[in-house]
Structure 1
Amino acid sequence: MIPLKDENPTRRPALLTYGLIILNLAIYFYVAQSPVMDAAIVRRYALIPADIAAGRHLGTLLSSLFLHASLLHVGGNMLFLWIFGNNVEDRLGELKYILLYLVAGVAGSLLQVAADPSSQVPTLGASGAISGVLAAYVLFYPRARVLTFIVPFFLVRLSAMVFIGYWIALQALNAYLSLGVPEGGGGVAFFAHVGGFVSGLILAWLLKELSGLVTGASSGIGQAYAERLARERYDLVVVARWRERLEELARRLEQETGSSVEVMAADLTDRTALAAVAARLRARPVDLLVNSAGFGGYMPFVRLPEERARELIDLHVLASTLLARAALPAMVERGRGSIVNVASLLAFAGSLPADPMPARAVYAGAKAYLVAFSETLAGEVRESGVRIQVCCPGIVKTEFHDRLGVDPSRLGPRMEPADVVAASLRALEAGEVICIPGLSEPAAVLAFQEQSRRLLQLGNVPELAPRYRQRPE
């Protein structure tokens, strides 16, 4: 399989990748102009496994990465670097990118030495370094599409996971088959490919820069998201009305985790404040948006003040929708990113009696909107690499009910916010669209979704249902 291009735009020109390609080609054509010079350069700068094993000529661990044996060798390596390197550079930045490139190259060479430490056959080429770039690419963009030529005449679009997964499996198989066979790789340093890939995968995970924006981060579930994401090395933007709480949270998380935490004090029921947060998402895209801001409106609908009803809808429905709208285009363009909308089990409780359930018409309706919105949006972006989730916890140990004047002793056992977040992030990794943290039987969610589809199929007919054809007696 030969990659021809990927469908994964970058935000900026990949100048370092272009520079590496030019440098490798320039060195190859300079060395190749004379057979005598070629032999001399190889003797001096190529890597000899036996020398490295004996502690000699250690500089060749680096110099050998910039030498190539043939036009096909350098051409193939530079094609892979051209297609996959620009996105990895765009994601990591120049400094971390070149660090990954060189470390993967050296690690690949060391594994090749370990596989055959007595070999006198020169090892050269950027394959180990580029294998590390491929590992980073598949980690960052597993669903990005790669236009692939399958010899002799097939053109297909494969996901990066499939293309690179097949490629590294082939390298590992050939490396295994070459064990114990003199020059068993047939001139190809398969162990360098494997070593470069594994080291690149580890280093990319350590170097990756993740960013997230969490609303409602001053307390409760939103604060628990911020705390968990900071521990997982996310740089954060935390949004809530209370600046003092946010600043205290930011100081603590920066000290405890080293993550950067940007504070945005904003009342998301205010259209100007909401527009400012949306503008921040468009200007500097994030990898994860968590819409967790919320408040309750438990009272009979006929007594709910109009302004309170408007605020409930503005915060739960409008703010979640417009922030997702601001964040999503960049995620789709990059082929990665996640949006979590925090709803409630009350989203499914509209038909339950008001006693002992709280009066909740607008609140439950807003949360039900988040369920329908998230499910539908997840279907729209299914092939883009972007994940959408709606998290629907039950009663959680937060300030939420305290602010409503509800006696905590009436609520029974309550889940910890950190457990809600743990469930949500694990569900996100598993691709679950509806996450109910306390639900032990995931089949119940599937049954709910199947019943929804069944209602759509059964009800979408041109004839009136028999029971509606005449007035009831």
Structure 2
Amino acid sequence: MVIPVHDVNPVRRTPWVTYALIVANVVVFLATPGVTGSVTGGGSLAQLCHLEAFTQHYALVPRELIHGRLPSLVPTGATGVGVQGPGCVLGPPTYRKSPVLSVLTSMFLHGSWLHLLGNMLFLFIFGNNVEDRMGRVRFLLFYVVCGYVAGYGFALLDADSGQPLIGASGAIAGVLGAYLVLYPRARVWVLVPFLIFLPLRLPAWIVLGFWFLLQAFYSAGEGVSDAGTVAYTAHVFGFVAGMLLALPLRPGTPPPPEPRGLLFGRRARTGW
């Protein structure tokens, strides 16, 4: 997997919506109850129970979204001792959850620093140009729509699941799909792990096309990979939605500048 670092594609105006989305995700992450324990791995049972209750309240749950079946018992955030030892206490929900609204709230929840920073890195690199092309209001609406398409797509393929889905990656996948349509020839500096991290400058269609193929491969036949809890199917739905929504803007999009000079960190005679 390549790690994007920077794209050679300047913007005409400050991408305030992209910056605001990044700040909002970081603030929500830091404000999430019990998140410290989830990050360090050394959290107490009480912290983990608070985190589980918060996630159940605000995360997207497929069977709630598709079938409208809200659970009669949910984590309360309290701890107790049962026949199997200490654990989180379940009880009737003290709140009214809107499954449709949970698609939006789940876009701002993350399970770890790695999850958060990985998503924000992609949004920071590719979101500014998409926002610059669409305009701030349209970009914000586009971001939310892609997140909803990703969430509903994932839920439809695993409609009976009670596993919460969190993260901004479905919406950000839409941003990547739009970038691929609008700026396929833009150059992107990436780090490729090959004994060491090798810096390369590659066209966006290679970087983002490879990323999408990986997501499609991992999601083939499954909603969630067996190796973890990454919702690859949501990435695929979000990416395709972003591509389709960006297609009408492609004819009037100015091409990115053709970079000349630095290649693999050294001076080259000609640009790519």
Shorter-chain TM-score bucket reads 0.7 to 0.9
Matched AA of 2:129: N
Q: Is it true that 1:47 corresponds to 2:60 in the alignment?
A: yes
Instruction: Specify the alignment match of 1:191 in structure 2.
Output: 233
Contact 2:181 2:243 in 1 (8 A): yes
Instruction: Specify the alignment match of 1:28 in structure 2.
Output: 29
Larger proportion of helix: 1
Correspondences of 1:35-434 after superposition (within 5 Å): 35-55=48-68, 57-152=99-194, 153=196, 154-178=198-222, 184=226, 186-206=228-248, 208=249, 210-211=251-252, 287=254, 331=255, 333=257, 383=272
Q: Secondary structure at the match of 2:257?
A: helix
Alpha-carbon deviation of 1:114?
1.5
Runs of 4+ more than 6 Å apart: none
C-alpha distance after superposition, 1:376-429 (max 9, x if no partner): xxxxx995xxxxxxxxxxxxxxxxxxxxxxxxxxxxxxxxxxxxxxxxxxxxxx
Contact 1:175 1:185 in 2 (8 A): no
Instruction: Specify the alignment match of 1:325 in structure 2.
Output: none
Contact 1:68 1:124 in 2 (8 A): yes
Contact 1:177 1:184 in 2 (8 A): no
User: Structure 1 pair 52/185, CA: closer, same or farther in 2 (3 Å)?
Assistant: farther
Alpha-carbon deviation of 1:99?
1.2
* Unpaired runs of at least 5, structure 1: 212-285, 288-330, 336-380, 384-473
* Unpaired runs of at least 5, structure 2: 37-46, 70-98, 260-269
Matched AA of 1:55: G
C-alpha distance after superposition, 1:163-186 (max 9, x if no partner): 00000000001000536xx76362
C-alpha distance after superposition, 1:132-179 (max 9, x if no partner): 000111111101111111114221111100000000000001000536
Q: Larger relative CO (CA 8 A, sep 6+): 1 or 2?
A: 2
Q: Distance in 2 between matches of 1:75 and 1:114?
A: 28
Alpha-carbon deviation of 1:53?
1.5
Alpha-carbon deviation of 1:334?
8.3
Contact 1:174 1:185 in 2 (8 A): no
C-alpha distance after superposition, 1:85-131 (max 9, x if no partner): 00000011001111111111110111111221111111000000000
Q: Distance in 2 between matches of 1:210 and 1:13?
A: 23
Question: Identity of paired residues, percent?
Answer: 40
Aligned length: 218
Q: Distance in 2 between matches of 1:171 and 1:145?
A: 22
TM (norm. structure 2) is 0.75
**C-alpha RMSD over aligned residues:** 2.2
C-alpha distance after superposition, 1:245-298 (max 9, x if no partner): xxxxxxxxxxxxxxxxxxxxxxxxxxxxxxxxxxxxxxxxx84xxxxxxxxxxx
Contact 2:225 2:232 in 1 (8 A): no
Alpha-carbon deviation of 1:44?
0.4
Q: Distance in 2 between matches of 1:42 and 1:99?
A: 24
Matched AA of 2:51: D
Matched AA of 1:18: Y
Matched AA of 1:110: Y
Q: Distance in 1 between matches of 2:200 and 2:271?
A: 20
Contact 2:59 2:165 in 1 (8 A): yes
Contact 2:5 2:189 in 1 (8 A): yes
Alpha-carbon deviation of 1:209?
7.1
Instruction: Specify the alignment match of 2:13 in structure 1.
Output: 12
C-alpha distance after superposition, 1:283-322 (max 9, x if no partner): xxx84xxxxxxxxxxxxxxxxxxxxxxxxxxxxxxxxxxx
Contact 2:219 2:225 in 1 (8 A): no
Q: Looking at CA atoms only, which structure, 1 or 2, has the larger radius of gyration? A: 1
C-alpha distance after superposition, 1:42-93 (max 9, x if no partner): 0100011111111352211111011011110000000000000000000110
Contact 1:10 1:334 in 2 (8 A): no
User: Structure 1 pair 184/8, CA: closer, same or farther in 2 (3 Å)?
Assistant: same
Q: Distance in 2 between matches of 1:183 and 1:15?
A: 34
User: Structure 1 pair 98/202, CA: closer, same or farther in 2 (3 Å)?
Assistant: same
